[in-house]
Amino acid sequence: METLSVPIAPLRVSPFRGHPSDFSLGALRPPDVPTPANTTSARAPSPQGELPAGAPLPAGGTSARAPSPRRAVASSGLRRGLGAWSRAFPAGPAGCSGAEAAAAACGGSSPRSLPPALLPLLLRLLVVGRSARAASGKMAAPRPPPGRLSGVMMPAPIQDLEALRALTALFKEQRNRDTAPRTIFQRVLDILKKSSHAVELACRDPSQVEHLASSLQLITECFRCLRNACIECSVNQNSIRNLGTIGVAVDLILLFRELRVEQDSLLTAFRCGLQFLGNIASRNEDSQSVVWMHAFPELFLSCLNHPDRKIVAYSSMILFTSLNSERMKELEENLNIAIDVVEAHQKQPESEWPFLIITDHFLKSPELVKAMYAKMSNQERVTLLDLMIAKIVGDEPLTKDDAPVFLSHAELIASTFVDQCKIVLKLTSEQHTDDEEALATIRLLDVLCEMTANTDLLGYLQVFPGLLERVIDLLRLIHVAGNDSTNIFSACASIKADGDVSSVAEGFKSHLIRLIGNLCYKNKDNQDKVNELDGIPLILDSCGLDDSNPFLTQWVVYAIRNLTEDNSQNQDLIAKMEEQGLADASLLKKMGFEVEKRGDKLILKSTSDTPQL
């Protein structure tokens, strides 16, 4: 760690482009499963094979330019795939043409409003309810399907799988999403339900896990199809939700977690299921309510601590999208979910979803933060406090609505520091140089420094009972401990064989003096209190070279200026100390002060020279 650094180095994350509410996963087909030959790919598969989980994706994979020969070949393959599904069931209602059959599947709407590519799929969907219609003479009995959809022992039916892949590709285009009839989603749901039976069987009988491959293919493609259908299309979101698909998807995802087996196909289905839930809830309050009803708390408890990073990211996105002020209250009764989010950020600081959940939701609820802090480990507390610092010093200043909330946070931080600050003295022993409780207390001081730099919070903390007294007392204790023996608080801290022990408390003395200076800013009561507690000689004596406290001299200068501003008593004290030799005149000059004798009085005044920092 560099010795020359700013006094506070808050946690930073990469900038997030766009608001998460605009984010829809899965606009492009994830290349984690090889793109079939009969579908159009919007881009070449990446080696990792998954969708990026941090930025909005385009809704379609098509271009206004003339198709390249390669795209023409792919389109030809797509048409063959669509035809495969329709050829198995070519007959519509008796006496109907293909266009009329499509109209019947659409509930009577004109098929001219539909893209031609959807027509063969709609013909295939007429199989729903065909037995009843055939018995009544209204539909010619179709030929039986060429394969049985058992989901366990038989391979996935080629017609269903190809048609699902074709739909997934078609739904990359907005016009196809806008004109898709509800019948399609009912059929996809039927396939999803039937395939899920194999997963249920594998959960009851682990020996059946090896036979899941065909069912997982269908489940994955169902989720992809539904995921793409929901992109920027509230009509499809509502249709899919009203069919009860969300509950089926959540139940299936929970079964995936229960299997606890390592299969790439299972992991892909798991991810695509979460992507679907994220897309159906995006900017749709009714869908968010249904997702929350089915997913909370079990799905979040199962996914936020999952070993797969993408599953953690996708489930975090669902949680962020679904949360509101009312649901925050439910989190107070399920603190493990909130703590799992903090742990997820701790493990994946580059992932923006856990970060946004904490900064945009958790930190707006003082009751939740207080309850979380009491139950957290010390490492998790450090992570939460780092994010609180990031929020305070972020590019966007705290709003008027944030101020009352952060006043409540200030009460928690200040009271905890007053009660626990002496725990830091454990660090004077080499056996406790990595004490997590002491490190969490150090981070409390960092938060207090940033809070007192905010004018909306400063006044509250300046009068907080016992805070100033405890800071001066702690400064005296570590100053004496550092002078009496070589330890982590010494000006030249000892170096252990396994590394520099001074790093864990780097800047601690500087921040204590900084906090004293902040608390005395334009506050005569606190200026006088520091004088009464003999804090001024202590602060002056702390000014010196200290590798473990960069910018120490600057903070001493800042504190002395705030202590002496419009306070003649404190000015006289420093002048007398210089006359008695208790304050080094050269040191005062370096700090930008000099003592001048006027008659019987000694006057401390600021020099015109810039302090030598």
Q: Read off the pLDDT of residues 390-442 as tens digits, 9 standing for 90 and up.
A: 999 998 889 988 999 999 999 999 999 999 999 999 888 877 666 899 999 99
Statement: residue 263 has pLDDT above 50 = yes
Residue 320 in domain:
no
- Tens of pLDDT, residues 178-202: 999 999 999 999 999 999 999 999 9
The last residue of one of the domains, among 563, 584, 603, is 563
Q: Compute CA distances 200 → 215, 218, 251, 253, 276, whole Å.
A: 11, 15, 10, 11, 20
Is 257 part of any domain? yes
The answer on 544 and 467 residing in a single domain is yes
In a domain, 533, yes or no: yes
Q: Is residue 575 part of a domain?
A: yes
| Percent above pLDDT 90 for the chain | 53
What is the distance between the alpha carbons of residues 470 and 552, in angstroms, rounded to a whole number?
Answer: 20
398 inside domain: no
The DSSP line for 519-570 is HTTT-HHHHHHHHHTTHHHHHHHT-S--TTSTTHHHHHHHHHHHHHTT-HHH
Residue 486 per-residue DSSP state: -
Confidence check: pLDDT of 292 > 80 = yes
Arithmetic mean of pLDDT, 361-371: 97
pLDDT band at 597 (very low <50, low <70, confident <90, very high): low
Q: Please give the mean pLDDT across all residues of the chain.
A: 76
Q: Which of 237, 255, 280 is the last residue of a domain?
A: 280
Domain boundary among 262, 280, 298: 280
| Separation between Cα atoms, residue 390 and residue 492, nearest integer Å | 31
The pLDDT value recorded for residue 523 is 98
Question: Is residue 484 very low, low, confident or very high in pLDDT (cuts 50, 70, 90)?
Answer: confident
Do residue 467 and residue 593 come from a single domain?
A: no
In a domain, residue 196? The reply is yes
Query: Distance between alpha carbon 300 and the CA centroid of its chain, in Å?
Result: 13
Same domain, 91 and 106: yes
Cβ atoms of 445 and 508 within 8 Å: the answer is yes
Q: What is the pLDDT of residue 551?
A: 86
Mean pLDDT along residues 98-119? 47
pLDDT value at residue 429: 81
pLDDT (mean) for 343-353: 95
* Pair 151, 220 in one domain: yes
Residues 260, 112, single domain; the answer is yes
| Per-residue pLDDT at 582 | 54
Same structural domain for residues 91 and 188? yes
526 with 597, same domain? Answer: no
Are both 467 and 554 inside the same structural domain?
yes
Q: Which domain holds residue 527?
A: 434-563
- Residues 250-269: what's their mean pLDDT? 90
Note the pLDDT of residue 295: 97
The answer to whether position 18 is within a domain reads: no
Q: Work out the pLDDT band at 595, boundaries 50, 70, 90.
A: low
Task: Render pLDDT for 556-573 as a digit per residue (tens, 0 to 9).
Answer: 989 999 999 999 999 888
pLDDT of residue 147: 36
Q: Which residues fall within 8 angstroms of residue 496, CB to CB, at 6 or more apart?
A: 430, 433
Say yes or no: 90 and 134 in one domain: yes
pLDDT band of 586, cuts 50, 70, 90: low
Together in a domain, 510 and 593: no
pLDDT for 191 equals 94
Same domain, 559 and 573: no
What's residue 599's pLDDT?
Answer: 54
Contact (Cβ atoms closer than 8 angstroms) between residue 121 and residue 87: no
Cβ contact 552:509 at 8 Å: yes
Examine residue 328 and state whether it is found in any structural domain, yes or no.
no
| Total structural domains within the chain | 3
pLDDT for 530: 98
Judge if 473 and 591 occupy the same domain. Answer: no
pTM as predicted: 0.75
CB 454 within 8 A of CB 474: no
Query: What average pLDDT does this structure show over 491-500?
Result: 47
